[in-house]
Every structure is written in structure tokens, then in C-alpha cells.
Amino acid sequence: MNVKVIGTSMPNHKTEKKEFDIFGGHAAGICYMKGTFDELRAEPIEKTTKRSVGCKKMGHHSVFDHLTISMYLEDVPRVVEVMLDNERWMTSSVKSGRYTVHSVAGIEKELYEKWLEIFKSQIKETYNKPGHEKFFTETRIEKLAMENARYFTSSFTLVSFMHTMTYRQFNYVYGFISDFIKTHEKTKNTFIKKTIPYFIELLKQFDQTGYVDTDLVGNQKGRVLSLFNPRKVQEYFGDVYVASYPVSYATFLHLNRHRTLKYSIDYIPEPKDLQFYTPELIVGTKYEAQWQKDMKRARDVFPQAMMVTATEIGNFDDFLLKVIERKCSVVLLETMHNTNNLLNRYVKGLEKTKHPRTEELKSYTRGSRCTFKSYKCEFPCGFKEGVNETRKI
């Protein structure tokens, strides 16, 4: 056996597009080579280029997945970020709205700042008691308040992030976005109409990178952007599963980061028809009605508390990875509840068919991940209500 590195994606270095094409041509040549890879790389450049062009024309595009493009996108609407994140293969590092303050103005700023102070007060009032000192530090209280106040920030709030795709995927996404713009040219949906100009600007920015290739953006298989899928699904729970559920836009963004599962949402309703998530900490308090009233004031900016219909598709083992990741006292509460609700539905679905892994899945329903036999927590929180999943924040 012999292993050697033949290519890397280097930081602070921009590979020329022709190098991507040549590397793809060499990758394609492996499938038919009679000699060694070193001999293949030494062949005349004309032969490699011809093979590369032929692969593009014939739809043999996987050879252009071997090298990646990393981009830093600055001041991009959140909806563009989630659209890119939903197209696999990718990896993304995003400035968090849970732990940092994004630049907002107008009604967003007013309500964010108002509710930030309310949540700080409510968290202290509810959990400032003996036994909670280790978990509820001043810093954590601040972050938890930010996490919940950001429900008032818009789905179009500007964010910055690093995003990495392969050369092929970069061009595929370019094609998907182009097609989406064309097919929604006459849409009456307010959310989509607001999204289109940002998609157009994104394509202009992609054009400027020099990596767009007309032969790769052709979309020969007629694929579409995966974020929006208004088709109703038939739920199923077995070795594979498909489920649909209501969730806030903020939590959809959180769930969508679990890369082994497939997510989509229905088209966003008109502002007048929007429903909004209410954090559990203020449910049943004097603040609940005020929360809903303020959300209606902000509805035209599509606040991230707006409820959407999400579809989730995956297999049993990948769902377990979601359960292990999302059942924790430091995870966004709505995300944890979403995971538990789906977990319980999955268990019931397996019980109906007497599936052989029913008891295995049921063992994950008895508390946070630190209670799992297969999981060892490196940072025990000591927060009892977090461990037994009775927390309200």
C-alpha cells in the first residue's frame, strides 16, 4: 500500500480555474489509465484539457468535486445563508445570532433590545437560586437572553460567514439559483419576491470569482434548490423516515446545520398570516400577550420566530446522531423540544410495526444526552432541569 497527497485546498490562496479543470481531467483519466497516476499527470496538457471538456459535456461531473472553493460572504441576508447551507456538499462557519449581536435597525433593534432586558430579568427571577450558580453565570444569562431576543430579528438580517463548496457544487448551485429566479419571476409570494433581488446579487458576486463554468451550470438533471418544497409528504418511520412538523424559522436554521439529514420548508405565508413561536419562559406570564403583540408589529420584516412547515428526511442511524447532538441543556430549547417530539413519534412508529430497534430508540427518551450509556459528557453542566429536560430556558 502507498498513500500520497496529490492536492490540498490552501488558505489564502486562490487556485486558477484552469487548474481545477486540469485536476478534474486527471481525475477522470484515472478511470481509464493503463499506467500510473504520475504518468497521467505528465501527459500533454491538450489531452488532459480535451478529457476535462468531454467530462463536462457528458455530465461526468463528479471528477470536479476533488478540490474546493472557500468563500467569505459578508453582509449577506440570513435567507441566502440558509439556502446555501441546504445544498450539500458544503461546510459553513457563520457568525452566530445566539452569541453575537448582528447589526439591526428600526423595529428589529427596538424589540430586540426591549426583550433582551426582559429575558435577563426573567432568567434571573426563575433560576437565580441555590444549586444553579455554576450554570447560570452572568455571561450565560446574557447569552441566553440574546438567544431568545433574536427571535425578533429578521429572516433577512445581514450575517457574515465562510462557506466551502467543491468546484462542481459551486457551479451547480449557481445553476439552481438561476433557475429559481426564472421560475419565480412572476411570483406573488411576498417572502420569495423579497428574496429574489438578493439571489440576483449573489450570482453577480459568483460571476466575479472567475469560477463559473457554463458547462457545469447547465443543470442537465433538472434539479432545483432544496430549501423550498411545498409538496406534502407522507410520513413514515422505519429504517428510513420522513416527517413534517411546525417549527420557528430560527430553529429551522439550527436543525438545518445537521448535515447528515435532509431538510426543506414550505413557502413562507404572507405577513398577515404568520404565526409566531413563544419561548417557554414567558408562556403563561404577563409577557406572553405582549410577545405576540410585538411579533405582529414586526411581522413585515419576517421575524425569525415565524412558524414554518418543515420536512425532515433521513435514516435511523443518522437520526440518532441528531438526538445525541440536540438533547443537551445548552442546546436551544425549541430545538431540544423539536428533537424530543420527533423522537417520541419515531418510537411510536416503530412500535406499530414491531421494528427490531424499537427498544434501542426508546432508550434515548429518558433525558439529556449525558444520561445515554453511549455518551460521556466532557463538560457536565450540573443543571438538574437541563439534564431531566424540564428547563424553561
Q: What is the pLDDT of residues 189-198, one digit of tens each?
A: 999 999 999 9
Q: Predicted confidence band at 97 (pLDDT cuts at 50, 70, 90)?
A: low
pLDDT recorded at residue 99: 66
Average per-residue pLDDT for the chain: 93
pLDDT recorded at residue 357: 98
pLDDT recorded at residue 90: 85
Residues 6+ apart with CB under 8 A from 280: 333, 337, 392, 393
What is the β-pairing status of strands 236-237 and 158-166? unpaired
Scanning the chain, the segments in alpha helix (DSSP H) are: 17-30, 37-41, 45-58, 78-85, 106-127, 138-149, 167-183, 190-207, 249-255, 288-297, 316-326, 333-353, 358-362, 384-387
pLDDT recorded at residue 259: 79
What is the distance between the alpha carbons of residues 347 and 281, in angstroms, rounded to a whole number?
Answer: 28
| Average pLDDT value for residue range 355-377 | 95
- Answer whether residue 101 shows pLDDT above 80: no
> Which range, of 70-74, 105-109, 130-134, averages the lowest pLDDT?
130-134
**Exposure string for 124-148, b = 16+ CB within 10 A, e = fewer:** eebbeeeebeebbeeebbebbbbbb
- Answer whether residue 299 shows pLDDT above 90: yes
- Answer whether residue 86 shows pLDDT above 70: yes
In the chain, % of residues over pLDDT 70: 99
> Which range, of 41-55, 122-136, 178-192, 275-289, averages the lowest pLDDT?
122-136
- Answer whether residue 111 shows pLDDT above 90: yes
Q: Which amino acid is at 152?
A: F
pLDDT recorded at residue 98: 64
Name the pTM for this structure. Answer: 0.92
Per residue in 161-176, pLDDT (tens digit) is 999 999 999 999 999 9
> Which range, of 2-11, 31-40, 213-222, averages the lowest pLDDT?
2-11
| Average pLDDT value for residue range 349-361 | 98
